Amino acid sequence: MPGVRSASTGSAAASHRRRRLISIRWTLPLCVVAPLVSGIALTSWLAFRSGQNAVEELVGKVSTEVAANIEKQVTSYLTKPSLISAAVSAEVASGNIDLQDTRQLGQDLWQLTQSDLLTNNLFYGSESGEFVYSERQDGQHRLDFVDAATDFRRIAYRTDDDGNLTETLSETDYDPRVRPWYQEAAATEGPVWSQVYIATSRADLTLTRATPVFDRSGQLEGVFGIDVYLFELSDFLRNLTVSPQGRAFIIETSGELIASSDSGKPFIEQGEEKLRLAAANSQDPLVQATASHLLAAVDDLRQIERPYTFEFELEGQKQLAYIYHLRELGVNWLIGVTIPQNDYMETIHANAQRTLAIGLVITAIASLLALAAALYIIRPIHQLNQAAHDIKDNQFNPDDLAGVIARPDEFSELASLFNDMATVVVSREQSLAEQVKQLKTEIDRHGMTGRNRDQLEALLKRAQQIRKAHADR
C-alpha cells in the first residue's frame, strides 16, 4: 500500500499548512483587542446617544425656565399699570379727583408720576375732546394739555420740581377720541390693553392700559391711560441667559414682533414712516427661521394652547424651538425660545472625544500587553516545536530546552516531560540504529539469500517509516 501511504502523508502536510495560516501569535492579541475595541466603540456610541437625549431634556428644561422668567417679567411689567389705573378710577369715583378741571387734573397726574414705585406716565382723555398728559423721563417732567385754553391743540410744557409750567416744548393737533386706546376702552366698557402700536412721541413699540370712566348715570366721561414702552422687555430679554447662541422673543398671534433678545428693532423705518416688523422678517436669522417654521407648521397661532415644540435646521445645525402662550392680564402673546443643540453638544462632543482618546490609549496598552503575552506563550511552543523537528532529524540536544524548563509556569513541566520523552526516544533510536547496523554486519558476514535479504530490507524500511510517522506526530 505504498500509494495510499504517500497520499495520506501529502494530505496531512497540506492540512498542516492550512492550519498554520492561523497563528496564535496573531489570534491571541486579536481575541483580546477585538472585544475591547468593540466595547469601547459601543460605550462611546451609547454615551453619545445618551448625551444627545440628555441635551434635549436639558434644552427643554432651560427653555421652560427661560419662558417662566419671561412670563414672570411680563406679568410684573403689566400688573403695575393695571393696578394704578384701577386705583385712579377708584379715586375718581370717590370724588378725590375732579375730571372737570383739566389744570387741577394735570397737577394730580403730575403728583402720581413723581415716584418710581408708581408710573412715569399717566393721561386722561374726555368725551368732550380734552386731554391731560403727565410724563417723567430722564429726570425731566412735562405736562400736556388739550382744552379750551389751548384752543384744543396739544401743547407740551416742561415743568419745574413743583409742577409749575416753565417752558413750551411743542404744539400739535391731537384728539384723544380718535386714538385706538380710547376707542377700544370705550367699546369694551372696561379696562383693556390696546393693540401694540408705535408711539408718535418716541420711536418705540407701545402698549396702553386704558380704563374707561363713567358718570353716575353710566355715561362714558373719558378714559385713563398708562403707556407701557416695550423696549424694556427687549432689554430684559437681552440680559436674560438663554444659551451662547440661543434667542428669546415675544410675538403677537398675528406674527408681529414685540420684543427680542437680539440687537435689532421690532419695527422698520421707511422714510418718516415706521412699520411693525413681522417676526418672520426679523433681522436676526435665528428668530426669522423660528418664526418662519412656526408659521409653516401652525396655520393660526391663536390655536396654540399648550407649550409647542419643534425642531429645524439652520445652516446645517439642529435648532430646538419652544413656544409658550401667554394669556396673563388680557394680552394674547407668544413667548418663543430657540436654542441651537450645539450650544450644549460641545460638552457632549468633548466627553465623547475624551472617552475615545482614553479608549485608544487603553487599546494600545492592551495590544502591547497581548503581543507580549503572545510572544511569552509562543516562544516555548516554538522551542518545543523545534525540538520535535530535531528529534525527527536525529539532532536533538537536551540543552536546547533548558530555557523553557527554567520558566516559572506550566511550560516548565511540559518541557521537562518532553525532554524526558525525547531522551527515551533518542535512546531507543540509537539502540535501534545500532541493532540495524549489527544486522547489516551479520548479513554481510554470513551472507543471505536474495529473498531473505529483500524481506529484511523491507522490514527495516517499514521500521524507519514507522519511526518517521511517530516523529511527525
Query: pLDDT tens for residues 77-98?
Result: 899 999 999 999 899 988 899 9
- What is the arithmetic mean of pLDDT over 401-419? 73
Distances (CA, A) of 210 to 8, 89, 227, 303: 110, 11, 9, 27
Q: What is the pLDDT at residue 183? A: 94
What is the pLDDT confidence band of residue 452, given thresholds at 50, 70 and 90? low
* Grid cell for residue 452: 531473505
Q: What is the pLDDT at residue 280? A: 93
What is the pLDDT confidence band of residue 449, given thresholds at 50, 70 and 90? low
Nearest to 52 by CA among 318, 255, 402: 318
Which amino acid, one-letter code, is at 372? A
* Grid cell for residue 265: 428693532
The residues spanned by each domain of the chain are 15-48+350-472, 97-229
Q: What is the pLDDT at residue 471? A: 54
Nearest to 212 by CA among 194, 190, 228: 190
- What is the arithmetic mean of pLDDT over 109-125? 89
Q: Is 191 helix (H, G, I), strand (E, B) or coil?
A: coil
- What is the arithmetic mean of pLDDT over 334-343? 89
Distance CA 341, CA 343 (A): 5
- What is the arithmetic mean of pLDDT over 139-152? 94
What is the pLDDT confidence band of residue 9, given thresholds at 50, 70 and 90? very low
Residue appearing with cell numbers 370712566: 213
DSSP per position, 332-398: -EEEEEEEETHHHHHHHHHHHHHHHHHHHHHHHHHHHHHHHHHHHHHHHHHHHHHHHHHHHTT---G
Q: Which of 106-115, 161-170, 310-319, 339-348 has the lowest mean pLDDT?
A: 339-348
Query: Is the CB of residue 236 less than 8 Å from the CB of residue 327?
Result: no
Distances (CA, A) of 259 to 84, 251, 293, 303: 24, 7, 19, 21
What is the pLDDT confidence band of residue 64, given thresholds at 50, 70 and 90? confident
Q: What is the pLDDT at residue 6? A: 44
Question: pLDDT digits over 349-373, tens only?
Answer: 677 777 778 877 887 887 787 777 7
pLDDT greater at residue 341 or residue 311: 311
Best mean pLDDT range from 16-30, 234-248, 426-440? 234-248
Q: Which of 153-157, 238-242, 271-275 has the lowest mean pLDDT?
A: 271-275
Q: What is the pLDDT at residue 22? A: 64
pLDDT at 176 over 80: yes
Which amino acid, one-letter code, is at 71? E
How far, rounded to the nearest angstrom, does the alpha carbon of residue 155 sit from its chain's CA centroid?
57
Q: What is the pLDDT at residue 441? A: 78
**C-alpha Rg value of the chain to the nearest Å:** 50
Handedness of CA 156, 157, 159, 164 (dihedral sign): negative
Distance CA 151, CA 154 (A): 9
pLDDT at 380 over 80: no
Distances (CA, A) of 16 to 13, 20, 392, 410: 5, 6, 16, 25
Q: Where are the alpha helices (DSSP H) in 256-341?
A: 285-297
pLDDT at 148 over 90: yes
Q: What is the pLDDT at residue 453? A: 65
What is the pLDDT confidence band of residue 166, given thresholds at 50, 70 and 90? very high
Environment class of 326 (CB within 10 Å of its CB; exposed 0-12, middle 13-18, buried 19+):
middle
What is the pLDDT confidence band of residue 26, given thresholds at 50, 70 and 90? low
Beta bridge partners of 339: 320
> What φ, ψ does residue 301 adopt, rounded to 5°?
-65, -20
Beta bridge partners of 337: 248, 322
Distance CA 131, CA 106 (A): 9
Q: What is the pLDDT at residue 2? A: 44
Distance CA 407, CA 423 (A): 20
What is the pLDDT confidence band of residue 3, given thresholds at 50, 70 and 90? very low
pLDDT at 14 over 90: no
Question: pLDDT digits over 259-303, tens only?
Answer: 999 878 888 887 777 888 999 999 899 999 999 999 999 989 988
* Architecture in CATH for domain 97-229: 2-Layer Sandwich (3.30)
Which amino acid, one-letter code, is at 353? Q
Q: What is the mean pLDDT of the chain?
A: 82
Neighbour tally for 151: CB within 10 Å: 9
Handedness of CA 211, 212, 215, 216 (dihedral sign): negative
pLDDT greater at residue 39 or residue 83: 83
Best mean pLDDT range from 82-96, 103-117, 122-136? 122-136
How far, rounded to the nearest angstrom, does the alpha carbon of residue 393 sit from its chain's CA centroid?
71
Distance CA 243, CA 345 (A): 12
Q: What is the pLDDT at residue 128? A: 95
How far, rounded to the nearest angstrom, does the alpha carbon of residue 94 sit from its chain's CA centroid?
59
